[in-house]
A = this chain, B = another copy of it.
Amino acid sequence: MTGTNAFTVDPWSVAEHGLDLSGQARAESVFALSNGHIGLRGNLDEGEPHGLPGTYLNGVYELRPLPYAESGYGYPESGQSVINVTNGKIIRLLVDDEPFDLRYGELLSHHRSLDFRDGLLRREAEWTSPAGRTVKVTSTRLVSLTQRAVAAIEYRVAAVDGPVRIVVQSELVANEQLPTGTHDPRASAVLEAPLLSEAHQADRLKAVLVHRTRYSELRVAAGADHTVEGPDGFDSVAESYPDQGRISVTTVLKPGEELRLVKYIAYGWSATRSLPAVRDQVAAALTAARYTGWDGLVAEQRAYLDDFWATSDIRIDGDVELQQAVRFALFHVLQAGARSEERAIPAKGLTGPGYDGHSFWDTETFVLPVLTYCLPGAVKQALRWRHGTLPMARDRAAQLGLAGAVFPWRTIRGEECSGYWPAGTAAFHIGADIAVAVARYVRSTGDVAFEKEYGLELLVETARMWRSLGHHDAAGRFRIEGVTGPDEYSAVADNNVFTNLMAQTNLVAAAESATRHPMESAALGVDTEETAAWRDAATAMYIPYDEKLGVHPQADGFTDHQAWDFDATPPDKYPLLLHYPYFDLYRKQVVKQADLVLAMQLRGDAFTDEQKARNFAYYERLTVRDSSLSACTQAVMAAEVGQLELAYDYTAEAALMDLHDLGGNTSDGLHMASLAGACIALVSGFGGLRDHGGQLFFRPRLPAGLQGLSFAMMIRESLLHVEITHKQTTYSVRRGGALTLLHEGEELVVGPGEPVSRPMALAEPVERCAQPPGREPARRKQQPGVQVGSGSVEHLQAE
C-alpha cells in the first residue's frame, strides 16, 4: 500500500495542476463523471493521449466464454464484461491544421478540477502549437443527475496571440482501440470491437450511431447535438460512418475571440426495443437537453447536489485532507447510485472496467448502508434490481440443489459470472448481505409498499436458501458447511462466523417480515411451519468459539491452522494472492480482509465487549488488507474497542484509497466500497452508529486529531443531524418529526427544534494493536489537521 497524491487538497473539490501522462489513467478514474446510468471516464476532450478511454452504460455488457482447464458441474459457461461503448465526449481541435495534442507543442498551463457542489469537471489549458500559435481551451463537462440519458460539454477555444484558423471536430467514436490488457486478474478482460454497426446518421449539427453487441444482443444508440457560437459565424459539416459521427466546425479567431460549442450527448440502450425506437429515444433526450440548455443543465445539477449535501454531508473539523476525501467519496457513491435504476451498482461504479464491470456483495454491504441514510430512493432501485434477478437466482439455486434463490457472486445482468467457485459460488453470504440491506432499508424508511412487493420475496427466498444449505447436527446445532466468508484468503470452510451470523439475521428478518405480511407471504407459499423452521434454525445457529484462546475462530478450525510466516514475507510479495498459491493461503492463518471483524460490526449483539477486544486484537495481527474492503471495517471496530488513533489511520486509508492510489489500481476505476467504507468508518466508527437492532445506536468517540465530526441522516421522513466534538454530541432533527435513538445505551427522544446534547464519554486509553509487519495502516506524512495546499502529501508504509 503505497501511493502519492497528485491532487490539490481542498474541502469541496479535487484539482490537478499540470498533466502527468504516467498517472493519466488514475486521474481519469478520479475525474470520472457518472449518474449511475452513464459513466464517462475523465479522458481529455481530444481523446488522446489517454490512459484508458472509457464510456460505460450501466447494464451494457458483452458475453464471453469462461474457460476451464477442468470443467465441473454447475460452472458458469459464460461471463459478462462491461464494454466501452460509443465515445461521445471526444472534441478534437485543429489549430492552423495542427492537432491540439498535449504531447506536442508547449503546454503553458493545464488545470482540471472536479467540484463536488456543482458536479462539473472543469478544464483549462493554454497551449502553443508546434508552429507557435497559442490557444486557450476551456471545457466543462457534466453527466446530468436530472436527465438520466444526458451528458453535456461546454467547449471554448480562444485565440491568444494572433489570428488562428480553428477546426473543432465533435465526434462519436465506436469501437475505440483500447490499450492491451494486463495479467492482473483484477483487471477487466478487454473486449475488442464489441459493437456492430446498425445505423448511422448525421445532419446539420447532430449525429446518431446505433450499434448492437454481438453475443449479448444489446442495441446501443449514442447521439450528439450541438450549439455553436463564434465571433463571425462559422462553417459546419456533418458526417457519419458505421463507427463514427462527426460534426466539424471551422472559423478564424482573432486574438481574444472565442469559439464556444455546447455538445449535448445522449445514450439509449435496450435488449428488446427496435432500432427506430432506440434511435428516437436518443433523439428525444437530445431535444430535451437542448431545450434545457447548458445553463439549465448546470443549474439543475447544482440544485440536485445542494439537496444531496444538505442531507448527506459529513463534516470534519481539523483534517482538511480527510474532509476532501470523504466528500470525494460521497460524491462518487452518489454518482454510482443516483440513477442506476433497476440496474446493478458495480464495484467500480461506472468509472472504469475493473472487475469486468461486475457487482459483488460490495453494493449491499458497503454502498447501500451509506445510501440508505442519504439517498434511500437509490437503495430501493438497487434492491429492485436484485428482485428483478430472482428468476435467475432461483434457477441457480435449483442447479445447485438448493431451495430459494442463490444470488451471483459477481454479475452484470444477474447470472453468476464467477469462474472460480471456491471464491465465488461458495460465498453464499451474498444472500444474507442482500437480505440485511433489505431489512435496513425497510426499517429506516418504513417503505411498506416496497417490503410487500419486493423486500419480502427477497427475504423469503434467501431464508429458504439458508434453510436448505445448513443442517442440524446430532446436538441440534444448525451448521452451515463448506462455504466461503468475506476473507478470500480462506475458502470453503465450515461454520464461518460471519456467514452464520448473517444467515441468522436473514432467517429472523424473513420470519418477521412474513409475519408482518401474512397475505403476501402466503402468496409466496410461506406457512407458519416454514417460518418456524427459519426461527428454529436461527435460534440453533452454531457459532464456533475457541475456548482455549478465548477468541472466535473465523470458521471451524481456523485458530488451529499454522500462522502465516509474516517475517518471511517481504513487502514486494503483497498482495499475497499474486505471489502465493491459494492452497497455501487457505490453509494458514492469514486474512485478506475483515471477516470476523466485519461480523462484529454488523452483528455486534452477538459478541461481548471482551470478546470484541480479544477478537479484534487476534485478527488484527493476521489481517493484511490485500482487499480495499477491509480498512473501513477495521476502522469501525478499532473505534469500538477504544483504539481511536488506529481507527483514524484506517479511516484515512479507506478514504484515500483512490485519491492516493493505495491499491495501485485506481486506473481501472474507483473502489466504490472503500469510498463508501470511508463514510462508514466515520459515521459508524467515530459516530458509533449501529443499526442492526430495531433502533439506531450511537456511541461517539473522537480521535485526538479531529476537533469535530458531524453528519446528517435521513430516517423515515426526518433528517437527523449529529454533531460530535470532544466535549459533547448534539442530536437535532432538522426536518420531519421526532426521532428516538440510543446514545451510549440511553434512549433519547429528539424533537424538531429541540436538540439534545450529551457529554462525550470518557475513553479508557487502550494499547494499540499490532498488525503484520509492514501491513500497518498507511500513515500520512503530514500531521493530520494541517491544511495542505499542494499535491505533495504522501503515504508511508510505516513511520
**A184 to chain B: closest residue by CB:** B71
Q: Is A74 an interface residue when CB atoms closer than 8 A count as contact?
A: yes
- Which has the most chain B C-beta neighbours within 10 Å: A185, A562, A577, A586? A562
Cβ A561 vs Cβ B421 within 8 A = no
Q: Is A104 an interface residue when CB atoms closer than 8 A count as contact?
A: no
Q: Is A464 an interface residue when CB atoms closer than 8 A count as contact?
A: no
Q: In whole Å, how far is A265's beta carbon from the nearest beta carbon of chain B?
A: 35
Q: In whole Å, how far is A599's beta carbon from the nearest beta carbon of chain B?
A: 20
Q: Is A84 an interface residue when CB atoms closer than 8 A count as contact?
A: no
Q: Give the complex CA separation of A586 and B75 in angstroms.
A: 15
Q: Contact string, A561-601, partner B, CB cutoff 8 A, digits 1/0? A: 11000000000000001111111101110000000000000
Q: Give the complex CA separation of A75 and B183 in angstroms.
A: 13
**Interface-side segment among A61-69, A631-639, A723-731:** A61-69
Q: In whole Å, how far is A581's beta carbon from the nearest beta carbon of chain B?
A: 4
> Which residues on the B side are within 8 Å of A72 (C-beta)?
185, 420, 577, 581-582
Q: Is A418 an interface residue when CB atoms closer than 8 A count as contact?
A: yes
> Which residues on the B side are within 8 Å of A69 (C-beta)?
66-68, 75-76, 79, 418-420
Q: Give the complex CA separation of A320 and B399 in angstroms.
A: 46
Cβ A401 vs Cβ B584 within 8 A = yes
Q: Give the complex CA separation of A106 and B421 in angstroms.
A: 55
> Which residues on the B side are within 8 Å of A582 (C-beta)?
72-74, 421
Number of copies: 2
Q: Is A288 an interface residue when CB atoms closer than 8 A count as contact?
A: no
> Which residues on the B side are within 8 Å of A421 (C-beta)?
581-583
Q: In whole Å, how far is A595's beta carbon from the nearest beta carbon of chain B?
A: 17
Q: Contact string, A253-289, partner B, CB cutoff 8 A, digits 1/0? A: 0000000000000000000000000000000000000
Q: Is A422 an interface residue when CB atoms closer than 8 A count as contact?
A: yes
Select which of B79, B481, B579 is within 8 A of A73 by beta carbon: B579
Q: In whole Å, how far is A562's beta carbon from the nearest beta carbon of chain B?
A: 4
Q: In whole Å, how far is A281's beta carbon from the nearest beta carbon of chain B?
A: 35
Q: Give the complex CA separation of A67 and B64 in angstroms.
A: 13
Cβ B583 vs Cβ A482 within 8 A = yes
Q: Is A471 an interface residue when CB atoms closer than 8 A count as contact?
A: yes
Given contacts A73-B577, A419-B69, A419-B70, contact A492 B494 (CB under 8 A): no
Given contacts A481-B587, A586-B492, A587-B481, contact A70 B400 (CB under 8 A): no
Given contacts A185-B72, A481-B561, A562-B479, contact A401 B580 (CB under 8 A): yes
Given contacts A425-B581, A577-B73, contact A481 B562 (CB under 8 A): yes
Cβ B560 vs Cβ A557 within 8 A = no
Select which of B75, B423, B471 is within 8 A of A562 by beta carbon: B471
Given contacts A400-B581, A425-B581, contact A560 B73 (CB under 8 A): no
Q: Is A473 an interface residue when CB atoms closer than 8 A count as contact?
A: yes
Q: Is A530 an interface residue when CB atoms closer than 8 A count as contact?
A: no
- Which has the most chain B C-beta neighbours within 10 Å: A183, A420, A481, A587? A587
Q: Is A392 an interface residue when CB atoms closer than 8 A count as contact?
A: no
**A68 to chain B: closest residue by CB:** B69
Q: Contact string, A526-569, partner B, CB cutoff 8 A, digits 1/0? A: 00000000000000000000001000000011001110000000
Q: Which range contains the number of A residues in contact with the other chain?
A: 35 or more
Cβ A581 vs Cβ B494 within 8 A = no
**A479 to chain B: closest residue by CB:** B560
Q: Is A426 an interface residue when CB atoms closer than 8 A count as contact?
A: yes
Q: In whole Å, how far is A580's beta carbon from the nearest beta carbon of chain B?
A: 6
Select which of B67, B183, B425 is within 8 A of A583 by beta carbon: B425
Select which of B68, B425, B483, B578 is within 8 A of A68 by beta carbon: B68
- Which has the most chain B C-beta neighbours within 10 Å: A74, A483, A491, A560? A560
Cβ A426 vs Cβ B583 within 8 A = yes
Cβ B419 vs Cβ A494 within 8 A = no
Q: Give the complex CA separation of A423 and B70 in angstroms.
A: 10
Q: Contact string, A371-406, partner B, CB cutoff 8 A, digits 1/0? A: 000000000000000000000000000011100000
> Which residues on the B side are within 8 Å of A562 (C-beta)?
471, 479, 481
Q: In whole Å, how far is A798's beta carbon from the nearest beta carbon of chain B?
A: 25
Q: Give the complex CA separation of A492 and B579 in angstroms.
A: 20
Cβ A473 vs Cβ B420 within 8 A = no
Q: In whole Å, how far is A38's beta carbon from the nearest beta carbon of chain B?
A: 29
Cβ A73 vs Cβ B580 within 8 A = yes
- Which has the most chain B C-beta neighbours within 10 Å: A73, A401, A580? A73
Task: Give the residues from 69 to 94 in chain A that come closer than 8 angstroms, CB to CB, to chain B.
Answer: 69-76, 79
Q: Give the complex CA separation of A522 and B471 in angstroms.
A: 54
Q: Contact string, A469-500, partner B, CB cutoff 8 A, digits 1/0? A: 00101100001011100000001101000000
> Which residues on the B side are within 8 Å of A586 (C-beta)?
482, 492
Given contacts A473-B560, A482-B587, A583-B482, contact A73 B578 (CB under 8 A): yes
Q: Give the complex CA separation of A587 and B494 in angstroms.
A: 8
Cβ A419 vs Cβ B68 within 8 A = yes
Q: Give the complex CA separation of A265 and B68 in angstroms.
A: 39
Q: Give the complex CA separation of A584 and B193 in angstroms.
A: 39
> Which residues on the B side are within 8 Å of A583 (C-beta)?
74, 400, 421-422, 425-426, 482-483, 492
- Which has the most chain B C-beta neighbours within 10 Å: A75, A76, A581, A584? A581
> Which residues on the B side are within 8 Å of A401 (C-beta)?
580-581, 584
Q: Give the complex CA separation of A234 and B482 in angstroms.
A: 72
**A490 to chain B: closest residue by CB:** B482
- Which has the most chain B C-beta neighbours within 10 Å: A69, A183, A471? A69
Q: Give the complex CA separation of A389 and B557 in angstroms.
A: 35
Cβ B422 vs Cβ A422 within 8 A = yes
Q: Give the complex CA separation of A75 and B557 in angstroms.
A: 26
Q: In whole Å, how far is A479's beta carbon from the nearest beta carbon of chain B?
A: 7
**A556 to chain B: closest residue by CB:** B557
Q: Give the complex CA separation of A483 and B71 in angstroms.
A: 20
**A78 to chain B: closest residue by CB:** B69
Task: Give the residues from 425 to 445 in chain A that come closer than 8 angstroms, CB to CB, to chain B.
Answer: 425-426
Task: Give the residues from 656 to 704 in chain A that come closer than 8 angstroms, CB to CB, to chain B.
Answer: none
> Which residues on the B side are within 8 Å of A481 (C-beta)?
557, 560-562, 587-588
Q: Give the complex CA separation of A690 and B556 in angstroms.
A: 37
> Which residues on the B side are within 8 Å of A560 (C-beta)?
473, 479, 481, 494
Q: Give the complex CA separation of A418 and B548 in angstroms.
A: 39
Q: In whole Å, how far is A75's beta carbon from the nearest beta carbon of chain B?
A: 8
Q: In whole Å, how far is A573's beta carbon from the nearest beta carbon of chain B?
A: 10
Cβ A418 vs Cβ B70 within 8 A = yes
Chain A residues in the interface with B (C-beta under 8 A): 66-76, 79, 183, 185, 399-401, 418-426, 471, 473-474, 479, 481-483, 491-492, 494, 548, 556-557, 560-562, 577-584, 586-588
Q: State the 10 A-B residue pairs at the shortest beta-carbon distance, nearest first.
A: A69-B419, A482-B587, A67-B67, A74-B581, A66-B69, A471-B562, A70-B420, A481-B587, A70-B419, A482-B586
Given contacts A72-B185, A73-B580, A481-B587, 18 further A-B contacts (CB under 8 A): A67-B67, A67-B69, A69-B79, A71-B185, A72-B420, A72-B582, A400-B581, A401-B580, A422-B422, A422-B583, A426-B583, A481-B588, A482-B586, A482-B587, A482-B588, A492-B492, A494-B560, A556-B556
**18 residue pairs bridging A and B, Cβ less than 8 Å apart:** A67-B68, A68-B419, A69-B418, A69-B420, A70-B418, A71-B183, A72-B185, A72-B581, A73-B577, A73-B581, A74-B583, A399-B581, A401-B580, A422-B422, A482-B584, A482-B587, A482-B588, A557-B557
